Structures are given as C-alpha cells and as structure tokens.
Chain A
C-alpha cells in the first residue's frame, strides 16, 4: 500500500492546518504589524518631566500659548525655553527640575526634547489647515490635557487619516473649540452623536471642507 488508510484524512488535515496557520498569520500580522501595535503607547523619557496635565489641564492654558504656530504653519512648533521662562522666571524659579530649561534659555541652546508624533517623510500633514477648519488637536493626539508625559495615543495609520478624510462631518467642531480637548456638543452621548451629525454637516458645508481622498492630497 503506497497510500495507507490514514492518508484518506490527509486532505482534511491539510485543510484544517492551512486554515489554522493562515488564521494565525493573518491575526498576527493584523495585530503586530500595524501602527496600533508599533506606535500606540510610545512614551519616551523627556529631558524635563513637563506635565501637560498640569499646564493644559489643571491650569487651563491654551495649546497655542506654547505651540503658537499651530494655526499658521505646517508644523506645530515646540516652544523655545524662553516661552517657559515667561512664567517660570517667577513660578518655581529655583526648582531643580527646571535647571535644564533655565540653562537653555540663558545659553540660547535648544532643549533636547524627544519627538513623539512623527509622520513619514512621504506624508505632508499641514497643522494649520486642519486646526483652522475645526479639526481638534484631540482627534490625532488624544487627551493631551490628561497626560503627565505625552504618549502616542492614536495609531496614525493611513486608514486612521482616511477615516476622517472620508467623513469629515463626523469629526469636525466649531473652530473656537479646537483646543478645548474635552469639549462635546452635549454631555448626553446620544444627543452628542446626533448633534455631531447635523451640526458637523453644517460646519462642513459652511467652511467648504473637502473630503480629500486623492493620493496627492497627502503624498506629493
């Protein structure tokens, strides 16, 4: 017998094996090979433990006090140390934790901040365009006002961008609420969703927000 009896079951076992292996590979790639795994949660140690929770959250500073170019330029600038010193030459002015900031401001040397959010070189992302059309910081950066040290909260995959580009009305908000990260249309979730749909569409129409989906919108 070249093919013993058990070989009758071989096709079935091969099929089951293929389904299992294929399923495992698909699940593994889906989980481990996407930015949801590779990017989300990235929280580098910064040279100075600056707390966004204290500044943007508890003290209620506007994002644009420090990131002053975010509504005017492609990039949201990291403030120079002199911006910090506007307050810290009086508040906590001798705190050892701020030694590096004082040194940077005095010697005019840059602060060695570690960048958290990066888009690839082939992606052109313009902060000003988004911020001035009612796309809040929170949509991409998460609740920065609740983070002590900033971590990567959202996935930044291409589908993450396209999610909004395909339906801007579901994410847009009034322009003056863009830096108010916790803002909602209504505290009632059902009401909020309803208003987002209706009012969001109004804002999209009013500001002529386009649903840009051609490749060259971002890849130039």
Chain B
C-alpha cells in the first residue's frame, strides 16, 4: 500500500509544473462565505462614493444630455462628415464590444477548458461583459440618425411588407450585439442565482430579503436544482464561447465588406476578435487590480491570477503585433497603391500618424514587458500598462476608421475629422454609465462566485480535515 503511494507520488509532476490551487486560501467554507460577502453586507466605504458619484453624474446627466441634444438636433452635431462618415460613434461601439469579449472568454471559454482558476475572476469579468455590451449596443441605435425608425431593424411583419435588409452590416450588428447581450446577461444571471439565494439567506433587513429572494427565483440548492443548473450553465457557456468569435467577426466584417483600402482585408474578422480580447484583458486588469485591494479579496484574487491574465494579455499582444505586421506586409506585397498609401500614412502621414505609432508602440510592444516576471508582479505597473492598452486599442479603432476614411480614392474628397463636444460627452457618458453599473454590481452582488469558489477549495473534498459539514462554521 505504502509502496504504491510512493509510486504515485513519483508520477506526480514536479512542483513548478503543478497547477496552482484555484483558491490558495486553505480555509473553511464558512470563512469563505463570510469573506466573499463581507463587502456586500458591510458599510459602504468612502472610496465607493467617491467613484460612484461622478460616474452616476456622467450616466444620469452627461449621457442623456448628449443623446437628447443629438437626437433632437440631428447627426450634424457630431464631427462626422464626408469623407469621414464614421467617427467616434463607431470607434466607441467597436471599443465597447471589444471590452466585452475578454469577460466571455474568461467566464465561458476557460470554463469549457476546465481552467479552475477562472472561478475567482469569472463573475467580475462577466459583469464587465454585460455592462460594456449595453454601452456598445447604444451606439448603432443612435448612429442611424433617425432613432425613431430603429424598430425597422426588427424583423416583424407590417403593412409595409418590408423586411430588414440582411445584406446590410447594420443588421448584422443588430443581431450580433443583441444575441451577445441576451446570452451574456443570461449566463451572468444564471451564475448569480445560487449566490443570490445565499445573500437572501444571510440578509438581515426585509428589503434585502425581498429583493435577493425575488431574484434568487426560489433557489433551495437541492440536488435536482444543481443538476439542472450545471446543465444549463454548460449549454450557455458553449453558446457564449461561440459568441466570442462571432460578434467581433461580424463587427470586423462591417468594415471588410466595404471597398475601402485599410478596411477591405480578409484578416479583419480575426483581427477584430484578437483586438477585442486583448482590449478586454486590459479592462479586466484595470477593474480587478484596484477592486481586489479595496474589497479585501487579495486572498481570493491572488497575484497568481493577475499573473495569468498578464500572460494571456502578453499572448494577445503578440497576436496583435503579428496582425499589424501582416497588414503592413500585405499593403506592400499586394502592390495595391491605395493600400500602400493608407498604410504609409498610418505611420508617416501629416494628420493621424500618432494613431499608427500608438498601435505599434502600445498595443504590440508594451505588453512584451510581461515576459518579465518582475513586471507581472508589480501591480502598479500592470495597472498603468492595462490603462495604456485600453487607450492604445481605442486609438487602433480610430486609426482604422478615421485613418482609412479621411484620404480615400479621390484627392478632391479628402478631409480632416475633428470630434465635437457631443462626441466626447457621449463617450464620457457611456464610460460613466459603465462604471456606475459596475460599482453597483460590486456593492450589491458578490463579485466572486461564492458557490463556485467553495466547490473548488480543498475543503470541498469530504475527506479534507475541514471538509464537508465538519468545517461549516470553523
């Protein structure tokens, strides 16, 4: 008996190759529950108000103000004009869709590939997805110019006998974004149900009992409920994983179907998916690095988690570098003078040259610092890099959209694009709305999936010293 145990021991991989414990804190289940719900049940800290009030102001005043002014006056209040007929509206749309993607990748794709470390950060990343898809969906709706005809995009039978034009990229966006919003919201909410029930059971006030109870949908945690829950979760994660690829592919094809140098490229679907995931990892880091400290979750979202996200960011950064290189190579190799013109001007034009350098320096080069372990452990530096990645990816979309449009085939058409204050206010407004929703999420819902984390701790094993019912209140 002892002999075979030794044999097994020798077959185990060396320590450096062993998987990290998903939750390194070797604590009891009760301790985990208290720890993970502490922020939701405690007093609202000052930092929360300091962040929440400006965000809520942007969401409640700046965003509606910009939208009402734009809708009541017309698209002319934006900087969009020929030849740059897509401006900040589409840049921000692509940027927000992109931010969403990393959340789905972490929560769904890493779930399917059984990466248990995702558990600690899955819900936080998914909330980011849901809220940023909401922000993204806003832009196509207001970008059409006649918002009161938005309902024309829904395929319903009317006495007009009309059906949406399915060959139009606008329609692809409508279906892609709405599918994404529905699936990611369902996925996120489904995952929340056991924890909502937990919050309900721990709630002290009647209001909290009622609200958590309402949204917990009568969850009791019976074996049959868990069985159905796991099935549904698996199905939804499969659907969501597909959406990581399809949604940004469709956004990429919005561009690739146009006969414009700088857009008309077969690499675009892949390009946009990679860029989206890359940008999203940046946003995950921006959100999690401060929150894990302020919400006292350093034991749960550990440096090892940050390290893994950094590695994924590094990988996506390399992919971005590869794609940029391919784009420039094809611009030269195809012999197409318009392509060569556009890509030459990305780097050395007189107008928007800085966008091209942002792409190379920030998006492709800066993540290379993550090769160094010291950098991956320096939270302040990671935070700065992550913020820069988000800015760099915004400029990538700016370069693709404005940089390809402002000098098209006929020099007589050339023009320069400047955003107006309404463009800026719309963007600031959506940023505010996003952070407001995120702060509300962090305050009122468990940011870390309590039930999932408990399921993968060492004490979830009944044979563990603190396992099973033994350690329930230890």
Interface residues, chain A, CB within 8 Å of chain B?
A: 2-3, 8, 33-36, 155, 157-163
- Complex CA distance for A161 and B160, rounded to whole angstroms: 9
Assess whether B463 is interfacial by the CB under 8 Å rule: no
- List B contacts of A3 (CB < 8 A): 213-214, 218
For B209, give its contact among A2, A33, A159, A160 (CB under 8 Å). Answer: A2
A36 touches B218 (CB 8 A): no
- List B contacts of A160 (CB < 8 A): 159, 161
Secondary structure at the A interface, as helix, strand, loop or mixed, is helix
A157 touches B213 (CB 8 A): no
Min CB gap B125→A, angstroms: 29
Given A2-B213, A3-B213, A159:B218 Cβ within 8 A:
no
Interface residues of B in 86-139 (CB under 8 A from A): none
Query: Which interface class (under 10, 10 to 19, 20 to 34, 35 or more) fits B?
Result: 10 to 19
Interface residues, chain B, CB within 8 Å of chain A?
A: 158-162, 206, 209-210, 213-214, 218
- List A contacts of B213 (CB < 8 A): 2-3
Seed contacts A2-B213, A159-B160; 12 additional CB < 8 Å A-B pairs: A2-B206, A3-B218, A8-B218, A35-B159, A155-B159, A157-B161, A158-B162, A159-B161, A159-B162, A162-B161, A162-B162, A163-B161
For B210, give its contact among A2, A36, A155 (CB under 8 Å). Answer: A2
Min CB gap B229→A, angstroms: 17
Min CB gap B439→A, angstroms: 27
The 17 listed contacts between A and B (C-beta, < 8 Å) are: A2-B210, A2-B213, A3-B213, A3-B214, A33-B159, A34-B159, A35-B159, A155-B159, A157-B161, A158-B159, A158-B160, A158-B161, A160-B159, A160-B161, A161-B161, A162-B161, A162-B162
Residue of B nearest to A3 (CB): B213
- Complex CA distance for A2 and B218, rounded to whole angstroms: 11
Min CB gap A137→B, angstroms: 22
- List A contacts of B209 (CB < 8 A): 2
Min CB gap B244→A, angstroms: 31
- List B contacts of A161 (CB < 8 A): 161
Given A3-B213, A8-B218, A157:B206 Cβ within 8 A:
no
Most A C-beta atoms less than 10 A away, residue of B161, B206, B218: B161
Residue of B nearest to A26 (CB): B156
- List B contacts of A155 (CB < 8 A): 159
B161 touches A36 (CB 8 A): no
- Complex CA distance for A81 and B213, rounded to whole angstroms: 79
- Complex CA distance for A161 and B158, rounded to whole angstroms: 13
Min CB gap B143→A, angstroms: 20
Residue of B nearest to A7 (CB): B218
**What 7 A-B pairs have minimum CB-CB distances, sorted nearest first?**
A159-B161, A157-B159, A34-B159, A158-B160, A162-B161, A2-B209, A2-B210
Min CB gap A105→B, angstroms: 41
Residue of B nearest to A33 (CB): B159
- List B contacts of A163 (CB < 8 A): 161
A157 touches B210 (CB 8 A): no
